[in-house]
Amino acid sequence: MIVATLATAYVASHFFRASNVTIGLDLMRDLEIGPEALGALTGAFFFGFSAMQIPCGFLFDRFGPRRTVTGMLLLAAVGATVFTVASGWPVLLAGRALMGAGFGVMLIGSMVVISRWFPRDRFSTMAALVLSIGLIGNLLATTPLAWGTELIGWRGVFGIVVIFTALAAVAVWLVVRDAPPDHPFLHRRIETPGEMLRGMAEVLRNPQLPFILTLNFCNYACTFTVQGLWGGPFLREVHGLTIIQSGNVLLAAVLAYQVGMLTFGPLDRLLDTRKWIAFGGTLTIALILAMLALAGGASLWVAIGGIVAMGFFSASSTMIMTHGRGIFPDRLIGRGMSTMNTCVMLGVACMQTLSGTILGAFAPLADGARSELAYRTLFGFMCAVLLVAVTIYSRVRDVRPSDELRAALKGAAN
């Protein structure tokens, strides 16, 4: 029940972060902005998100996920309200940044709770379950959002999700508990500010962390720049799809992502590796981006197939987080995982902002649309970024579930 409540609250985060891929062209038209401004507006969510990761790591370790998540969800509801009623781009930007800051606690808060309620070898499976339920928000941000936009406008749809977010905050407060009754967290000695800072320094000194952070920074940044921002405009401007048709393709990509979550989640226990699952999934995404970049004049079905396949393999990002979780002791789990998630969301913010600059560097066509060459250049750039990232990540030490199980059994025996 606790995990289900957190996962349900996570739905709103996924909806708001992914919504611009469906209504991006509508925002550009309504607000009279270009791709650079849309990229900055979309990236603002992730800048706000990443800015809260380290502070929330301290809050999780000091006050626990229940109080932290409840308060930050209320902040997210305020930001979403500002965004919904705003009439100008600067206010929209502020509202979206507040949304990102508020929702920034959801993933790590859920993972901290999972790490305390479930054994280590179940972590990736339960994390994949949370992400899979949360992805309902991505589903709602595709065809349902397109339908709702045509029926009541995007502001009307957003207003409904604002109410859902506020109710989710109440549900977290009523249902979620930080740890089981006998867990050491409930009987811990509260760290002083100096001790918390020294713990943060211990996290940053971990020699394996830079390799994991590199892939964390790049993997989700590239996939979500397609799945959460430019995939819809690409299908509409290059291949002539309507908002509903492009929403259907994005819906299929999100469904593929959910299947991928359920597929990748238990793979570490089956194959007894985390490093090589993350490596292989990211390399496959790079190859898909290479195909989209090089296939000039490709058929619509090639574009659709590439976007849907990317949805499936982007689920490999969960294994990067699972790999990272394995390098930290429980007393540092909040700060360790929030550090990793900072890198994830900062990567998305930077890539989405940069993507608008890349597309904006190409002169628009006569009808104002971006050219196929502009999109192919963006796909090629992201492919190069991922190839560099996996090369660096290949040097990291693997954390195998079998090793963790042996360590746990040895600790229990002692």
Q: What is the mean pLDDT of residues 99-119?
A: 82
What is the structure's pLDDT at 29? Answer: 79
Range in 39-43, 299-303, 406-410 the model is least confident about: 406-410
Single pTM value for the model: 0.76
| Residue that has been written with the tokens 């393999």 in this structure | 313
Which fold does the domain 2-413 belong to in CATH? Growth Hormone; Chain: A; (1.20.1250)
Could you write out the three-class secondary structure of 251-315?
Answer: HHHHHHHHHHHHHHCCHHHHHCCCHHHHHHHHHHHHHHHHHHHHCCCCCHHHHHHHHHHHHHHHH
Residue 408 has pLDDT above 70, yes or no: no
Report pLDDT for 78: 95
> Residue 223 — very low, low, confident or very high, per pLDDT cuts 50/70/90?
very high
Average pLDDT over residues 212-223: 93
Average pLDDT over the chain, rounded to whole? 85
pLDDT score recorded for residue 32 = 78
* All residues at 6 or more sequence positions from 289 whose CB lies less than 8 Å from its CB, including other chains: 222, 226, 310, 379, 380, 382, 383, 386
pLDDT of residue 168: 92
Average pLDDT over residues 189-206: 80
Contacts of residue 192, defined as CB under 8 A and 6 or more positions apart, other chains included, come to: none
Residue 149 has pLDDT above 80, yes or no: yes
List all residues 6 or more positions away from 129 whose beta carbon is below 8 Å from its beta carbon: 3, 7, 261, 265
- Judged against a pLDDT cut of 70, whether residue 22 lies above it is answered with yes
Single-letter residue type at 312: F
Query: Contact 217/389 with Cβ under 8 angstroms?
Result: yes
pLDDT at 184: 61
CA angle 101, 190, 344 (to 5 degrees): 30
pLDDT of residue 411: 59
pLDDT at 270 over 60: yes
CA separation for the pair 31, 252 (Å, rounded): 29
Percent of the chain with pLDDT over 90: 33
Q: Torsion over CA of 212, 215, 220 and 221, rounded to 10 degrees?
A: 120
Is 185's pLDDT higher than 70?
no
Mean pLDDT of 209-231: 91
Domains of the chain by residue range: 2-413
Q: In the predicted model, is pLDDT for residue 412 greater than 60? A: no
Give me the pLDDT at residue 190, please: 67
pLDDT in tens, 365-407: 887 788 899 999 999 999 999 999 999 999 999 988 887 677 6
Tokens 């993997």 — which residue? Answer: 219
